Chain A
Amino acid sequence: MIEIDIKLGKANFLLDARFKIPAFGVTGIFGPSGSGKTSLLRVIAGLETTAQGRVSVKGREYLKADRALAAHQRRVGFVFQDARLFPHLDVEENLLFGRRRLRKPIIINRLEEFYELLGVTSLLSRDISGLSGGEQQRIALGRALLAEPDILLMDEPLSALDQGTRKQLMSFLEELFQQLEMPVFYVSHSSEEIARLADQLVVMEGGQVKACGDIQRVLSLVDSDLAQSDSSFSVINGVVQQSVSDDVTLVRSEGGQELLLPGAAQPGDIGKQVRLRVRARDVSLCLEKPGSSSILNILPARVVEIAEQSQRGSRTVRLDIGSGAILAKVSDYSVKHLKLGQGMELYAQIKSAALLN
Chain B
Amino acid sequence: MLPMTLSPDDMTAFLITLKLAAVTTCILLVISTPLAWWLATTQTRIRGLIEALIALPLVLPPTVLGFYLLLALSPDGVIGGFTGFLGLPSLAFSFWGLVLGSVIYSLPFAVQPLQNGFLNVGRSTLEASASLGASPRDRFTSIVLPLSKHAYLTAAVLCFAHTLGEFGVVLMIGGNIPGETRVLSIAIYDHVESIQYQNAHLLSASLLVFSVMILLLVYRGKRQQFSVVKA
Contact = CB atoms under 8 A, between A and B. Distances in A.
Interface stretch (B61-69, B101-109, B131-139, B151-159): B131-139
Given A87-B147, A88-B147, A101 B131 contact: no
A72 B228 contact: no
Given A88-B146, A98-B133, A143-B132, A71 B127 contact: yes
A84 B142 CA distance: 15
Contact of B124 (A46, A71, A84): A84
Contact of B143 (A46, A86, A144): A86
B129 interface: yes
Interface residues of B, number: 21
A102 B133 contact: yes
A97 B124 contact: no
Nearest to A102: B133
Contacts of A86: 125, 128-129, 143
B229 A47 contact: no
Contacts of A88: 143, 146-147
A144 B130 CA distance: 11
Contacts of B143: 86, 88
B174 to A, nearest CB: 41
Closest 8 CB pairs of A and B: A98-B132, A71-B130, A78-B131, A101-B133, A84-B128, A88-B146, A72-B130, A147-B132
Contacts, number: 66
A170 to B, nearest CB: 23
A77 B147 CA distance: 23
B231 A101 contact: no
Contacts of B147: 87-88
A97 B131 contact: no
B225 to A, nearest CB: 11
B133 A144 contact: no
Most chain B CB within 10 A, of A72, A127, A143, is at A72
Interface in A86-103: 86-88, 97-98, 101-102
Contacts of B131: 45, 47, 71-72, 76-78, 144
A307 to B, nearest CB: 41
B133 A129 contact: no
Nearest to B230: A129
Contacts of A143: 132
Interface residues of A, number: 27
Interface of A: 45-47, 70-72, 75-78, 80, 82, 84-88, 97-98, 101-102, 127, 129-130, 143-144, 147
Given A101-B138, A129-B231, A82 B124 contact: yes
A102 B132 CA distance: 9
Given A70-B130, A70-B135, 17 more contacts: A47-B127, A47-B131, A71-B130, A72-B134, A72-B136, A80-B124, A84-B128, A86-B128, A87-B147, A88-B147, A97-B129, A98-B132, A101-B133, A129-B228, A144-B132, A147-B132, A147-B133
A123 to B, nearest CB: 16
Contacts of B228: 127, 129
Nearest to B145: A88
Most chain B CB within 10 A, of A71, A77, A102, is at A71
Nearest to A148: B133
